[in-house]
């Protein structure tokens, strides 16, 4: 067998998995919903300002409970709709979509009876699991970019575009602002890496895709609630969504890196722990039964 044969098989398996995942009506529906959120936000802001209403400023990246702080700038610059849409979808919509894809990755195959056929092929369990995780990570990036691109197009249609005023009060050019929007989208996608590994692990624990998806989304909601309880402040820095909104620090001049780095390190830790747990479960248990 050629040395390149395993790599060729791996790439073929990945292409096949990506094709199957992104052709499913469920995936298309999830992406459509994510694309619609920025449109709804943009229209709501346009109607509100058109009726002479005002948008209150928030006290932080999440607006201190009053909506994303970026939303106050949307009417002046449509590019801020990208930041607003990402801040609005990151706490629930984006992770929920990722939880659905990750939770169904292995359990859905087992439930449908296709997992045993995949394992008959010369893929190996480790390679198959890595392919499933790579597909889920690809969905993280695609889903985030769908939100960002939809917000950018909607913002350009409904509002003017121009120089960007950062959170620090300085002004940067539109090109620099667009570049930061792209970086923010990448950070948001990277923020979902830990959840993707957690969902994949849950997916190896059951043969029911629905149960795995529901469990993953349930864990997401539970951790989000725990992250808001003041009495748990000592544990909250270890919850995977704790630093999600730190992407707003990319809109400071200079950029604040502390929470951004903590977020990426935390996601890497969750990916390592739950990825290893998923591998241990998937390679030692009979998940084809």
pLDDT of residue 83: 93
pLDDT of residue 50: 64
Tens place of pLDDT per residue across the chain (289 aa): 454 555 565 787 788 888 888 999 999 999 999 999 999 999 998 888 765 555 544 444 444 333 446 777 888 899 999 999 999 999 999 999 999 999 888 877 666 556 555 555 555 788 888 999 999 999 999 999 999 999 999 999 999 998 888 888 888 999 999 999 999 999 999 999 999 999 999 998 887 878 888 999 999 999 999 999 999 999 999 999 999 999 999 988 888 899 999 999 999 999 999 999 999 988 876 644 5
CA dihedral 12, 196, 179, 159 (to 10 degrees): 110
Write out the E strands in the chain. Answer: 164-165, 171-172
The answer to whether residue 205 sits within a structural domain is: yes
The answer to whether residue 11 sits within a structural domain is: no
pLDDT of residue 140: 96
3-state secondary structure 20-74: HHHHCHHHHHHHHHHHHHHHHHHHHHHHHHHCCCCCCCCCCCCHHHCCCHHHHHC
The answer to whether residue 131 sits within a structural domain is: yes
Give me the domain span that covers residue 250: 16-284
pLDDT of residue 3: 47
For the chain, how many structural domains are there in total? Answer: 1
The answer to whether residue 64 sits within a structural domain is: yes
- For residue 136, which of 98, 90, 97 has the smallest C-alpha distance? 98
The answer to whether residue 94 sits within a structural domain is: yes
The answer to whether residue 2 sits within a structural domain is: no
The answer to whether residue 273 sits within a structural domain is: yes
In the chain, the largest separation of any two C-alpha atoms, in whole Å, equals 71
CA–CA distance, 211 with 235 (Å, rounded to integer): 27
The answer to whether residue 6 sits within a structural domain is: no
Question: Residue 9 contacts by C-beta under 8 Å, 6 or more apart in sequence?
Answer: 122, 123, 127
pLDDT of residue 81: 94
pLDDT of residue 110: 66
- For residue 56, which of 74, 78, 82, 43 has the smallest C-alpha distance? 74
Chain mean position to CA 102: 11
């Amino acid at each position: 067998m050629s040395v390149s044969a395993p790599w060729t098989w791996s790439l073929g398996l990945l292409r096949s998995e990506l094709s199957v995942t992104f052709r499913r009506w469920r995936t298309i529906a999830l992406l459509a919903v994510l694309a619609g959120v920025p449109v709804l936000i943009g229209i709501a802001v346009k109607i509100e300002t058109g009726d002479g209403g005002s948008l209150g400023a928030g006290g932080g990246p999440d607006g201190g409970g009053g909506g994303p702080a970026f939303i106050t700038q949307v009417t002046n610059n449509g590019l801020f709709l990208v930041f607003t849409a990402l801040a609005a979808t990151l706490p629930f919509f984006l992770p929920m979509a990722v939880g659905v894809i990750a939770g169904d990755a292995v359990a859905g195959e087992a439930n449908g009876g296709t997992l045993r056929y995949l394992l008959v092929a010369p893929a190996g369990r480790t390679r198959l699991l890595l392919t499933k995780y790579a597909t889920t990570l690809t969905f993280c990036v695609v889903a985030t970019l769908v939100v960002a691109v939809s917000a950018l197009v909607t913002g350009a249609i409904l509002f003017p575009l121009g120089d960007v005023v950062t959170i620090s009060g300085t002004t940067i050019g539109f090109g620099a602002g667009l570049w930061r929007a792209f970086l923010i989208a990448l950070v948001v996608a990277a923020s979902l890496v830990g959840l993707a590994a957690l969902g994949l692990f849950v997916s190896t624990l059951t043969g029911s895709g629905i149960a795995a998806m529901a469990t993953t989304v349930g864990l997401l909601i539970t951790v989000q609630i725990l992250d808001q309880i003041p009495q748990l402040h000592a544990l909250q820095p270890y919850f995977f969504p704790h630093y999600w909104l730190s992407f707003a620090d990319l809109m400071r001049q200079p950029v604040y890196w502390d929470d951004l780095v903590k977020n990426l390190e935390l996601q890497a830790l969750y990916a390592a722990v739950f990825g290893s747990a998923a591998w241990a479960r998937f390679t030692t248990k009979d998940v084809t039964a």
